[in-house]
Every structure is written in structure tokens, then in C-alpha cells.
């Protein structure tokens, strides 16, 4: 079995790659352009990398360009495609929306066209996973959790670009019968995450004794909330869906419980045995284009028999302690 994993050198991508190496005998072809927050150092730090590296082949390519014959020959035949490559940071999408359209819409279309060629010429493509986000649904009112096929209401250019790629994936399934399935994933955390993200950024600021900014409602009394999930749980869900998922379907990958960002910052400080310096800020005024609450319904995956390997608090505590021992991933 060979799997093409786009974005292998990215945060979530390298965790999915690690799960494949540890739990299967598959070969991985990693497709990445190695800019922005991507780095092959993530791969070389994987546990038992020396033992597994002979099963990994790396191909440099920017998906804004089509996968021409040369790139296709470098990749070779594959059984699965997991499309994780994307531009993801909301703040940057607000400043540079066209970059996100090119990476997440045009890039996805180029990959889907390549998959059609794979299916036509080699006929061995079993699954193509398009990795989408909870943000395509926009903010979730209190007590609301969105199901897989609910309507889109993107609150920022990043979300809209992921929704665009998602619709292309659906269209390619309907038009070309590509074996596409789609995941929506909540806020992912874990080892080797870029320090622009909330959890590593909070760890960094608590360690430095700096103020942590928590976005809240307009009254500055209700913090924003998320269903945080460790990248290893996400990787386990992806592997489960490669085996048990149905082409043409969508699946929500959801954290075990809702946590507001003030509670999360307090947990970080407590774990580090540090004092928390914190300020709640009206997110509408300070961060337009961002949503206060995201929430997905995870019953579909649960009903299929999938169980997440690790709990939230256990995973978060482990990441906090790991980050202290690897401060260079915090930008310190």
C-alpha cells in the first residue's frame, strides 16, 4: 500500500505520517513545498524515524501548479491520497485572501485533476481524503453543533477557501466518481505546532510571564470556546476512515468536550505552576473575521465504532510538558 500525503512536513501532516508509519506497513509519498510553517525537522523528530525513514519518499511541489508528468512519475502509483496541504492561519487570510484562494482552492483542484489521472490510468485509487475544517460553517450559536452536511457560512477568507476546496472535492466525486471523502476537524493541537497558534502561544507567554489575550464577546465576560483535539486523535480518525469511510460522505472529527479559552489558559498556567496574566478582549473589535464559538456534532463517527485513543486533559498536559523540554518549537 502506498499513500500520497500532501503537507507531510506540516503540523497535522507529520502526525498523520507518524501514525501511518507506526501502525501500518504502508509506504508514504510526501508532497510539500516547504515554505511558511512547513519543515522536514518535524519528520526527523518522529519517534523511531531512523527505523521508518526508508518507507518515506519526499517530492517537492507547489500545488498552485498542476502535477505534470514529471511530478507524477516522481510520485508513482498510490492507493490512497490524504490531502492536508493548505494555508491555515486566519489572520493571514484576512490580509492576503488571494494567497489562500490559490493554495486551498486552486491547489485542491490541481490535486483532484491528478487523482482523476491516477484513477483513469492506474485504476487503483481507493480513497481520497479532503481535510476540511469546522470553520466552513461559521460561528455556532449556543447549544448548536453542526452536522456534516449543514450549510456553509464562512466568517473569513480562510474558511471560504476551505469551503471552496470542499465543494470541488464533492463535484469531482459526483462528476468523475473519484472515491472522495471529506473530514471536518475542530481545533487541533499537539507537539511541533507553530507558535502562532493559541495553545503554543499561550504556553510561550505563560513561561515568559507575559499577558495572554483571550477573545471574548462584546461584554468581555464570555470567552470564545472550541472543541480542542490532539493531532494524534485526528490521525487515528483519518486511518479509521481510510479503512471504514464511504466515498461521497463527510465526517466530523470532534474533540471530546467544549473548552473555553480562559479555562484552557488557566490549565496551561496550572500545569506549568505559573501565574496567569490574562485579559479578555472583545474579539469583534480586535479580530474581525473570527468566530467566537465553533461546534460540530461527532455522532456519525462515534456510531461507526471509532473511539479516540487519548483524552483531552491528558493530551494537553503532555503537550505542555513536552513544549517546556523543546522550547525552540515555541520560538524561544
pLDDT digits (tens, 9 = 90+) for 247-264: 999 999 999 889 999 999
Strands 212-216 and 225-226 come out as unpaired
User: Taking residues 75-80, what's their average pLDDT?
Assistant: 95
- 153: number of Cβ within 10 Å: 16
Catalytic residue (one of 18, 103, 135, 291): 135
pLDDT band at residue 292, thresholds of 50, 70 and 90? Answer: confident
Tell me which H or E stretch contains 56.
strand 56-60
Q: Are 113 and 175 in contact (CB under 8 A)?
A: no
pLDDT exceeds cutoff 80 at 291: no
Catalytic residue (one of 146, 158, 228, 294): 158
Tell me which H or E stretch contains 27.
strand 27-32
Look over the chain and give the mean of its residue pLDDT values, rounded to a whole number: 94
Catalytic (active site) residue 294: no
pLDDT exceeds cutoff 70 at 265: yes
According to the model, what pLDDT value does residue 280 have?
93
Closest to 275 measured CA to CA, from 190, 205, 323: 205
User: Taking residues 52-62, what's their average pLDDT?
Assistant: 97
User: Taking residues 134-156, what's their average pLDDT?
Assistant: 94
pLDDT band at residue 68, thresholds of 50, 70 and 90? Answer: very high
Catalytic residue (one of 134, 150, 191, 291): 134
CB neighbours of 145 closer than 8 A, spacing ≥ 6? 295, 296, 297
pLDDT, one tens digit per residue, over 232-245 is 999 999 999 999 99
The domains located in the chain, with CATH, are 2-188+227-253 (3.40.50.720), 194-226+259-293+311-330 (3.90.25.10)
N- to C-terminal Cα separation, the chain: 40
Angle between helices 312-325 and 198-208 (to 10 degrees): 50
Write out the three cell numbers for 113.
485533476
According to the model, what pLDDT value does residue 199 have?
97
CB neighbours of 25 closer than 8 A, spacing ≥ 6? 1, 55
Q: Are 31 and 4 in contact (CB under 8 A)?
A: yes
pLDDT exceeds cutoff 80 at 283: no
Catalytic (active site) residue 158: yes
Catalytic (active site) residue 47: no
pLDDT band at residue 16, thresholds of 50, 70 and 90? Answer: very high
Amino acid at each position: 500500500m502506498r499513500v500520497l500525503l500532501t503537507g507531510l512536513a506540516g503540523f497535522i501532516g507529520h502526525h498523520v505520517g507518524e501514525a501511518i508509519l507506526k501502525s501500518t506497513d504502508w509506504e508514504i509519498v510526501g508532497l510539500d513545498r516547504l515554505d511558511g510553517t512547513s519543515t522536514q525537522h518535524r519528520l526527523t523528530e518522529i519517534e523511531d524515524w531512523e527505523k521508518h525513514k526508508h518507507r518515506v519518499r519526499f517530492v517537492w511541489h507547489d500545488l498552485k501548479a498542476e502535477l505534470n508528468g514529471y511530478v507524477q512519475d516522481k510520485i508513482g502509483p498510490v492507493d490512497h491520497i490524504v490531502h492536508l496541504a493548505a494555508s491555515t492561519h486566519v489572520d493571514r487570510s484576512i490580509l492576503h485572501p488571494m494567497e489562500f484562494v490559490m493554495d486551498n482552492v486552486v491547489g485542491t483542484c490541481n490535486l483532484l485533476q491528478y487523482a482523476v489521472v491516477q484513477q483513469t490510468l492506474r485504476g487503483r485509487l481507493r480513497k481520497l481524503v479532503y481535510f476540511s475544517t469546522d470553520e466552513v460553517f461559521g460561528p455556532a450559536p449556543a447549544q448548536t453543533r453542526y452536522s456534516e452536511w449543514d450549510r456553509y457560512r464562512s466568517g473569513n477568507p480562510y474558511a471560504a477557501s476551505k469551503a471552496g476546496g470542499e465543494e470541488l472535492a464533492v463535484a469531482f466525486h459526483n462528476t468523475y466518481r473519484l472515491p472522495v471523502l471529506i473530514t471536518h476537524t475542530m481545533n487541533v493541537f499537539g507537539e511541533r505546532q507553530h507558535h502562532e497558534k493559541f495553545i503554543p502561544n499561550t504556553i510561550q507567554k505563560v513561561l515568559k510571564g507575559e499577558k495572554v489575550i483571550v477573545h471574548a464577546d462584546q461584554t468581555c465576560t464570555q470567552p470564545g470556546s472550541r472543541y480542542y483535539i490532539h493531532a494524534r486523535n485526528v490521525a487515528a480518525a483519518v486511518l479509521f476512515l481510510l479503512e471504514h469511510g464511504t466515498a461521497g460522505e463527510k465526517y466530523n472529527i470532534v474533540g471530546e468536550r467544549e473548552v473555553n479559552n480562559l479555562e484552557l489558559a488557566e490549565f496551561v498556567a496550572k500545569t506549568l505552576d505559573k501565574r496567569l496574566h490574562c485579559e479578555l478582549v472583545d474579539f469583534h473589535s480586535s479580530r474581525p473575521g473570527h468566530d467566537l464559538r465553533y461546534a460540530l456534532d461527532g455522532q456519525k463517527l462515534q456510531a461507526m465504532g471509532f473511539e479516540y485513543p487519548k483524552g483531552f486533559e491528558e493530551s494537553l498536559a503532555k503537550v505542555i510538558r513536552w513544549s517546556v523540554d523543546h522550547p525552540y518549537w515555541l520560538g524561544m
